[in-house]
Amino acid sequence: METINTLRPFGRTTMMVTPIGLGCWQFSKQNNLAGKFWPTLEDSLIDQVVSLSLAGGINWFDTAEIYGNGASEKALSKALQTAGIKPNDVMIATKWWPLFRFASNIAKTIDERIKALSPYPIDLYQVHQPYGFSNEKSEMTAMASLLDSKLIRNIGVSNFSAKRMQNAWETLDKKGIPLASNQVPYSLLNRKIETNGVMELAKKLGITIIAYSPLAQGMVTGKFHDNPELLKNIGFRKYSANFKPKGLEKSLPLVNLIKELAVKYNVTTSQIALNWLINFHGETVVAIPGATKASHAQENTGSMTFRLSDEDMARVDKESAIYK
């Protein structure tokens, strides 16, 4: 099917991205603690997921240093090369891990990131989370130096509060550099950024919101409501409130509405949830669902082939408002 959600501006940068990108945490190959969140995916499956994502119109991919200590970055690069993608044909976003590090580490480790992703340039370099030994001003100053040296092309943050996002934006703005994005958890079962100032500030400053965990780790699709037996094999997720019996009961009315709309539009429940996310706030929000199966990649891209009506988006908004 044809993609109707076409390219949109990425913050106030010159980049144009598809509303859906591919999150690549699952390519970590269990190389470190962060990587053990996912099973090891064979190279052939990674290649297939990336190829299908490209075929479905996706033009950008999000990875990170902490995803397997570079294993995800390397697997992504290999898969793109296997698919015959040339440098600059797609956008690559990766992230620096700040925990127990100072901002000076940004410059010290950039060569590792460049090597892992070679031959693809770093189109977006993000501070993965706000908990390092340096403040956001120092980190943005270090990032700006990389940009000036043409080692990266754009700068973003991840998991930043409205206050920290404002501080990062101000530091870069003084240098004439836009803060491109803030990557945060955002789904129909987690709409906190709409009430904690992050969404409001992003719209005001022209910063793109990258929604990660856009399907609430699968809960929003209804598969766990339909088959509670699946809850036995979900690892760390079972400790989340959403996956407890009360959480399942709380989300059931929303899930039932999503199912109803999936039938109406002849799409899947995940595609309804993703379509709402990338359209309800205009062009502010883009999403990066992951994919551990070929079918996941096809579902992700399929969410760009239709658009919920304003009336249906309002119904979903009302039913999920309890998660703000």
Q: Hey, which residues are catalytic here?
A: 67
**82-108 as b/e: b if 16+ CB within 10 A:** ebebeeeebbbbbbbbbeebebebbee
Token pair listed for 143:
């990032």
Please state, in angstroms and rounded to a whole number, the distance separating the CA atoms of residues 17 and 191: 23
Backbone dihedral region of 63: left (phi > 0), alpha (psi from -120 to 50 degrees) or beta? beta
CA 164, chain centre distance (Å): 19
Reduced to 3 states, what is the DSSP secondary structure of residue 8? strand
Please state, in angstroms and rounded to a whole number, the distance separating the CA atoms of residues 49 and 197: 35
Q: Please, what's the largest Cα pairwise distance for the chain?
A: 54
